[in-house]
Amino acid sequence: MDASDVESDLVNILFTEEQIQAKLAELAKQIEADYDGKDILIVGILRGAVMVMADLARAFHRHLEMDWMAVSSYGSGTKSSGVVRILKDLDTDITGRHVLIVDEIIDTGLTLSWLTSNLASRNPASVEICTLLRKPEALRMPIDVKYVGWDIPNEFVVGYGLDYQERYRNLRDIGTLAPHVYS
């Protein structure tokens, strides 16, 4: 879906599909260098990270393994509830593995703080985080994020996997959702 298909629902476009692809290629290059000589398991957080995970993985010039988790802290609202539930756990044993959590956005940090702690308790060699977007003003929990695409304002954004009530995920760009859509 193009931004022109939903332009009345968006305040502005923050990042185009081309900018996103370039940023993911840059992140992949940095991750490859940091994990040189190490096997890496990238763990995508469903559902939002599907686009980021797929395109990040395609930007790599080496083998990697992928797995998925589904966690929820939002329900159907626009703000994190702070209560994290595992809806789908990993299929892979991460003992002794280098794990890179891939997410599309860090908002309050509560979900990823909990998830990082949960995965660290499973005895991996390392656990790091890669996110396409981070909202520094919204953070309520300090969280160490090794790879960040962009820091953005504390606004409700959609597209490229980010949704509002399961809509807009297939928007190729990332834009700020107009308040009339969710108020």
Residue ranges per domain, the chain?
Answer: 17-155
Rounded percentage of the chain residues whose pLDDT exceeds 70:
95
Return the biggest CA–CA distance within the chain.
50
Stretch 3-32: mean pLDDT: 97
* HSE-up of residue 140 (Cα within 13 Å, Cβ side): 9
Please say if the pLDDT value at position 75 is more than 60: no
**Nearest to residue 163, comparing CAs of 51, 24, 81, 33?**
51
Task: Fold for 17-155, please state it.
Answer: Rossmann fold (3.40.50)
| Residue 141, pLDDT score | 87
Which residue among 107, 151, 163, 173 is the active-site one?
107
Q: Catalytic annotation on 163?
A: no
Stated pTM of the model: 0.92
* d(C-alpha 160, C-alpha 156), whole Å: 13
* pLDDT digits 0-9 by tens, 33-67: 999 999 999 999 999 999 999 999 999 999 999 99
Phi, psi of 116 (to 5 degrees): -60, -45
Residue 173 has pLDDT above 70, yes or no: yes
